Amino acid sequence: MPRRTLLSAEALSPVRHSSRPPEMARHYVLDAADLAFVRTRRRSANRLGFAVQLCLLRHPGTGLGPGEHPPVAMLAFVAEQLGVPPAAFAAYAARDLVLLCHFSILNSV
């Protein structure tokens, strides 16, 4: 029997999410516990990528897959909280293995 989904692929796509500041603040603000968890990653690219995955798993409920990138405004919003340049995400996104490893860590928490 085929697996049923509650949301379409379009609804789950991080590219479709609003980049308006009030909505980003509602969904993507990292609290002290989140920041401590994110800072366990060694490199700034990994901290930023891990934080983006964490935010996306909370809203809309799915992380980035290989080759996917978050909206620019969302990336900048999360990067600012970490004090990391948004450009650091390029190094994270280039390594599919790290992306998938972080996704599996966050899904097990």
| Residue 15 confidence (pLDDT) | 45
Q: φ and ψ at 67, to 5 degrees?
A: 85, -5
- The C-alpha atoms of residue 64 and residue 94 are separated, in whole angstroms, by 12
Rg (CA), the chain: 13
Contacts of 71 (CB under 8 A, 6+ apart): 14, 15, 17, 19
Tens digits of residue pLDDT in 41-66: 989 999 999 999 999 988 888 878 77
- The C-alpha atoms of residue 25 and residue 28 are separated, in whole angstroms, by 6
pTM reported for the whole predicted model: 0.72
